[in-house]
C-alpha cells in the first residue's frame, strides 16, 4: 500500500511544529506495548513489524501532502522541514511472530522527537491491527489442529484492513488466502472454491459442476449446498468426480456452507467413501471461529479444510488491540505518565526485556523488564504488589528487544511471512499449555528489576502533589 507521512494524526504534525520551533534536536525514547490480550487469550502474537520497517525506510510527505498542510496554515520554514522529512531513528523490537504479553515493551523507538512523534500513528495502526488478527488466527489454528485453514475474509473486512488481515492470518497459522493482492505481495499461498452465483447462473447444478471441472480441473472444489446438499449437491458432485476420473483428473473437494456442519460432513464422508472417493476432501465454511471449529472437532466432524472469513479478519468479538506508544525518556532523562488507574502508569527509562527460559527450553512464564544499562536482572518484582518477587537465577535470560533499524535503515534481513509463521509456531510450542487454553488461561508474569522499580517509584513520588 502506498503510505505517505501524512498517514498520521494532525496533532502529531502540530506538536512537530512546536518542537521544530523550540527544541528541534530533542531526542526521545518511546515504548510500544498493549494493556490487555484480546479474546481473553493468555498471549498475543506480535505482527506487522516487517511492514512498519518497510514503510519507515521510505516514509516521506508527498507534494500534495505539503500542499494540503500549506492550505491548513503551516508555515513555509516548517513545510520545508517536512518536505525533507525522513525517519532516521533506531528501533529495537521483539521478533515478529513472537508470543507477547501485556504491559511490557514490545518495540522501542529512539529518535529525534519530531520523527518519533510523526511515525507514532502509522506504527500503532499497523502493529495493533496485525497483532489483533494474528492472535485470532493463532487461536483458530489451535482449535483446527492439523487441518487446512483458508482465509476468506476480504469481502467483510474493514475496507483496506483486509489486506493486512490476510498477512496477519498467515503469520498466525493460516495456510492460504482467497485474497489475491495480499497473496501476490506477501507470497502467501492463494486458493479458493466457487460461489453460489456460479451455480445459480446455470439452469442445472450438474451442468455448472461439469463446466467448472472441465475448465478448472486443478484443485477443483464443488460447492454442494445451493439447492439440497445431500439429495442433489453431493450426488451431482459424485457424478462429476467419476467423469473427472475418466479424464485422468481428480476432484479435490466438496464445500459445505450451511446447515449442521457436523451432521452434513459425516454423511458426506460416508457417501463419498461408499462411492470410492476417499480422496475427495470436505471443505466447510459459514461463520466459523475458534469455538465453532473446536466444537466441530469434538463432534467428530470429518472436515479437512476450514474456510474462515468475517470472524477472523474483523477480530471478532474484540474490535481492537489497545496498543499504546508512550514516552519513556527525553534527552537522557526518564519520563513518566501518571494515572489514577495503576495499570496505566507508564514505565520510565530506556529498557530491555528478558524472557525466562527453563532447562527444557520451555518458557517459564515470566518476562522481566530492566533498565537498558543494567547488565543483568537477577530478581524481578511485581510492578505494584510488594509481596510478589521472583528469583530469576534458575533461568536462562533471553533478551527480547533487538536492534532492527539504525538511523532509519533496517539492520536485520527481511523475513518472509512463511518464516515468521514458522517462528511463531515454534515460540508457541515453548509456551506451556496452561497459557494457551481458551478458558481462564494462566496469567503470564511481567516484573520489574529492583532498580527499575526503585527509580520508577522515586519518579512517581517526585510528580505526586
Ligand atoms: N454442528 C455444529 N456445531 C456447532 N456449530 C455449528 C454446527 N454446524 C454449524 N454450526 C455453526 O452454527 C452457525 C449456523 O448459522 P445459521 O443459523 O445461519 O445456519 P445456516 O445453516 O448457515 O443458515 P443459512 O442457510 O441461512 O446460511 C454457523 O456459525 C455455523 O458455523
Ligand atoms: O462466513 P464467513 O466466515 O465470513 O466466510 C466466508 C463466507 O463468504 C462467502 O459467502 P457469500 O454469501 O459472501 O458468498 P457466496 O455466495 O459465494 O457463498 C462464503 O461462502 C462463506 O459463507
Ligand atoms: O474461495 C471461496 O470459496 C471463497 C472465497 C471468498 C469468500 N467465500 C468463499
Q: How high is the pLDDT of residue 294?
A: 98
Please provide residue 131's backbone torsions phi and psi, each rounded to the nearest 5 degrees. Answer: -65, -40
pLDDT band per the 50, 70, 90 thresholds, residue 340: confident
pLDDT digits (tens, 9 = 90+) for 306-324: 999 999 999 999 999 999 9
Ligand 2 atom closest to Cα of residue 308 = 3
- As for ligand 3, residues whose beta carbon falls within 6 Å of it are 152, 155, 178, 192-193, 307, 309
What ipTM did this prediction achieve?
Answer: 0.96
pLDDT band per the 50, 70, 90 thresholds, residue 226: very high
C-alpha cell at 222: 464443488
CA 285 – ligand 3 centroid, Å: 9
**Contacts (Cβ under 8 Å, ≥6 apart) of 336:** 328, 345, 346, 347, 348, 456, 459, 460, 463
Report which of 352, 400, 378, 395 is spatially closest to residue 99, judged by C-alpha positions: 400
Q: Which ligand is nearest to the CA of 309?
A: 2
pLDDT digits (tens, 9 = 90+) for 122-159: 999 999 999 999 999 999 999 999 999 999 999 999 99
Residue nearest to atom 6 of ligand 3 (CA): 152
Q: How high is the pLDDT of residue 1?
A: 65
Residue nearest to atom 3 of ligand 1 (CA): 296
Question: What percent of the chain is predicted at pLDDT more than 70?
Answer: 100
CA 262 – ligand 1 centroid, Å: 10
Question: What percent of the chain is predicted at pLDDT more than 90?
Answer: 97
Report which of 426, 409, 312 is spatially closest to residue 361, judged by C-alpha positions: 426
User: What 3-state class would DSSP assign to 37?
Assistant: coil
pTM: 0.97
10 Å CB burial of residue 78 (0-12, 13-18, 19+) is middle
**Where are the chain's structural domains?**
10-133+321-463, 144-313
For residue 95, what is the DSSP state? P
Determine the topology of domain 144-313 in CATH: TIM Barrel (3.20.20)
What number does CATH give the domain 10-133+321-463?
A: 3.20.140.10
pLDDT digits (tens, 9 = 90+) for 269-296: 999 999 999 999 999 999 999 999 999 9
Average pLDDT over residues 80-95: 98
CA 243 – ligand 2 centroid, Å: 28
Amino acid at each position: 500500500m502506498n503510505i505517505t507521512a501524512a498517514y498520521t494524526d494532525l496533532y502529531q504534525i502540530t506538536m512537530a511544529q512546536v518542537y521544530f520551533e523550540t527544541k528541534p534536536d530533542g531526542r526521545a525514547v518511546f515504548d510500544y506495548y498493549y494493556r490487555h490480550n484480546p479474546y481473553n487469550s493468555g498471549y498475543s502474537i506480535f505482527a506487522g513489524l516487517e511492514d512498519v520497517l518497510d514503510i519507515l525506510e521510505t516514509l516521506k510527505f508527498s507534494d500534495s501532502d505539503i500542499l494540503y498542510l500549506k492550505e491548513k496554515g503551516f508555515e513555509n520554514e516548517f513545510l520545508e522541514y517536512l518536505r525533507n522529512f525522513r525517519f532516521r531513528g533506531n528501533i529495537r523490537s521483539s521478533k515478529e511472530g513472537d508470543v507477547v504479553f501485556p504491559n511490557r515493551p514490545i518495540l522501542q523507538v529512539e529518535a529525534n522527537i519530531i520523527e518519533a512523534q510523526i511515525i507514532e500513528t502509522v506504527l500503532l495502526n499497523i502493529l495493533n491491527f496485525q497483532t489483533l488478527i494474528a492472535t485470532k488466527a493463532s487461536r483458530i489454528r489451535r482449535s483446527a489442529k492439523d487441518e487446512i485453514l483458508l482465509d476468506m475474509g476480504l469481502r467483510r473486512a474493514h475496507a483496506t484492513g483486509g489486506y493486512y488481515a490476510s498477512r496477519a492470518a498467515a503469520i498466525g497459522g493460516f495456510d492460504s488466502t482467497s485474497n489475491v493482492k495480499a497473496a501476490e505481495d506477501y507470497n502467501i499461498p492463494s486458493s479458493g472454491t466457487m460461489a453460489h452465483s456460479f451455480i445459480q447462473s446455470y439452469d442445472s447444478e450438474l451442468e455448472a459442476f461439469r463446466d467448472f471441472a472441465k475448465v478448472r480441473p486443478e484443485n477443483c472444489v464443488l460447492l454442494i449446498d445451493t439447492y439440497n446438499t445431500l439429495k442433489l449437491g453431493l450426488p451431482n458432485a459424485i457424478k462429476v468426480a467419476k467423469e473427472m476420473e475418466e479424464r485422468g483428473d481428480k476432484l479435490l473437494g466438496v464445500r459445505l456452507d450451511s446447515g449442521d456442519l457436523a451432521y452434513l460432513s459425516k454423511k458426506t464422508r460416508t457417501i463419498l467413501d461408499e462411492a470410492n472417493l476417499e480422496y475427495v476432501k470436505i471443505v466447510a465454511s459459514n461463520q466459523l471461529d475458534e469455538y465453532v471449529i473446536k466444537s466441530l472437532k469434538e463432534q467428530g466432524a470429518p472436515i479437512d479444510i476450514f474456510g474462515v472469513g468475517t470472524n477472523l479478519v474483523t477480530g471478532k468479538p474484540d474490535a481492537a488491540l489497545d496498543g499504546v506508544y508512550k514516552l519513556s525518556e527525553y534527552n537522557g532523562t526518564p519520563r513518566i505518565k501518571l494515572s489514577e488507574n495503576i495499570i496505566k502508569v507508564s514505565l520510565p527509562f530506556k529498557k530491555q526485556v528478558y524472557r525466562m527460559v527453563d532447562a527444557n527450553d520451555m518458557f517459564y512464564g515470566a518476562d522481566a523488564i530492566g533498565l537498558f544499562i543494567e547488565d543483568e536482572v537477577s530478581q524481578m518484582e511485581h510492578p505494584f504488589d510488594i509481596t510478589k518477587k521472583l528469583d530469576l537465577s534458575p533461568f536462562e535470560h533471553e533478551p527480547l528487544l533487538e536492534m532492527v533499524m539504525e538511523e532509519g535503515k533496517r539492520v536485520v534481513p527481511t523475513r518472509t511471512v512463511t518464516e515468521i509463521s514458522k517462528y511463531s509456531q515454534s515460540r508457541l510450542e515453548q509456551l506451556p499449555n496452561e497459557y494457551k487454553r481458551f478458558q481462564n488461561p494462566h496469567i503470564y508474569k511481567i516484573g520489574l528489576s529492583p532498580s527499575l522499580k526503585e527509580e520508577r517509584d522515586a519518579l512517581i513520588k517526585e510528580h505526586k502533589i
